[in-house]
Each structure stands twice: as C-alpha cells, then as structure tokens.
A and B are shown apart, each in its own frame.
Chain A
Amino acid sequence: ETGVTQSPTHLIKTRGQQVTLRCSSQSGHNTVSWYQQALGQGPQFIFQYYREEENGRGNFPPRFSGLQFPNYSSELNVNALELDDSALYLCASSWGAAGSIYFGEGSWLTVV
C-alpha cells in the first residue's frame, strides 16, 4: 500500500454535471499531482499542487480545477462533464516536486 487514498472508487455522472474527486496524500507529503488515464492509454498529467498552490498544469481546460488543503489533502473538480472525461483519475503524492511519487488506486469516472 502506498498510503495515498482516493474517493470515491467508482462513480457515474451525467454529461453537463460537476464532479469532485478526493485524495489524501501519504503522511508527510506536501505535493499532490493528478493524472487522467483514459482506457488503453497512459496517464496524462492534469496539474500539481505544492503547499496549497498550483505548481504546474498540463493541457487540460479550465473546467478542470483543483484545491490542496492545509493538511495536504486535495480535490479535483471537473465542471460541465463531457463523455470524453470518462477515465481513471489518479492522485499521486510526494515530498516536494521531485520526490519519489506514490500513486493512489484511482477513481473511475463514467460520464453518460
């Protein structure tokens, strides 16, 4: 086990709705990154948070947003869901941006 926990594990949403995914990082880790993994593809970097500030963003539209809290847990919010947002969303934590990275088990999102 990596110590990174994500919730929920599975959820189904309707196109146009909004979703919030949650991540608790490994104890002592101050950096959280989020990745989207479509079926049959490798993970794609969404963004990273370091000490509650966004610290880099991938090629995702603004309707993908995030938060990191003082306890270093994190949320990923996606507004105006589209069918192509159906994917496994992975959270990864580390100590600092260049530290060893530990992934959670992911949240499966299905948009119908």
Chain B
Amino acid sequence: SQQGEEDPQALSIQEGENATMNCSYKTSINNLQWYRQNSGRGLVHLILIRSNEREKHSGRLRVTLDTSKKSSSLLITASRAADTASYFCATGSDYKLSFGAGTTVTVRA
C-alpha cells in the first residue's frame, strides 16, 4: 500500500496557466517531498518541506503542508510545455520513501 495519494490523477492545462495538485498521507511525517518524472524516466527531486513548515517556494513552485489534515499541495505557476510530466509526493523514514500514484500533468501549447 502507498502512503501518499495524489489528486487529481491527471490534469490538462493551457500553457501559462497554473497547475495545482494535492497529496494526502496517512501517518505522521518528518518531511514531505515532491518529485517530477518525465515519461517513465528517473525521478527529479523538486522540493522538500519539513513538518514544521507551512509553505515553501522554489522558482515557479509553491508547496504547502497542512499536518492537521495530513495533506500537501504543489502549485506550478505560469506552466510551460516542459512541465509536462508526472508529479509524485513522497513521505518516509530515514531509509524508505513511500510514493503516491502520481498526478500526470499535460501542458498544452
């Protein structure tokens, strides 16, 4: 079973629009991470947010964390065609990451 669950499963947006995806998890966490995966290739680490943080920014990415609701969101602003990918949230202990099934984002030109 997977710790995190992303919502929606798929998202299609126009270039320049914002994309928002959500992640819910089941158990207490120390941190939560977001990864991107292009077309079945390796995972690229995007951002890590710690349990005592509520919001974090990195370039066009904004991540929020609500530990009371056990949920996180990833916002991609001003989307580009290159943002087309699958996005995964991951939680975990020191050695084991648990991933959700991911949100597939398609950015239309």
| Chain B interfacial residues counted at CB < 8 A | 21
A contact residues around B29 at 8 Å (CB): none
Q: How far is the CA of A106 from the CA of B4 in the complex (A)?
A: 22
Q: How far is the CA of A61 from the CA of B95 in the complex (A)?
A: 19
A38-75 interface bits toward B, Cβ cutoff 8 Å, 1 = contact, 0 = none: 00111111001010000110100000000000000000
Q: A2-B42, A105-B41, A106-B42 are in contact. Are A98 and B99 (CB under 8 A)?
A: no
| Chain A interfacial residues counted at CB < 8 A | 29
Does the CB pair B101–A40 fall under 8 Å? yes
7 A-B residue pairs with CB within 8 Å:
A44-B2, A58-B96, A92-B43, A97-B95, A98-B94, A103-B45, A106-B40
Residues on A lying within 8 angstroms of B by beta carbon are 2, 4, 31, 33, 35, 40-45, 48, 50, 55-56, 58, 88, 90, 92, 97-98, 100-106, 108
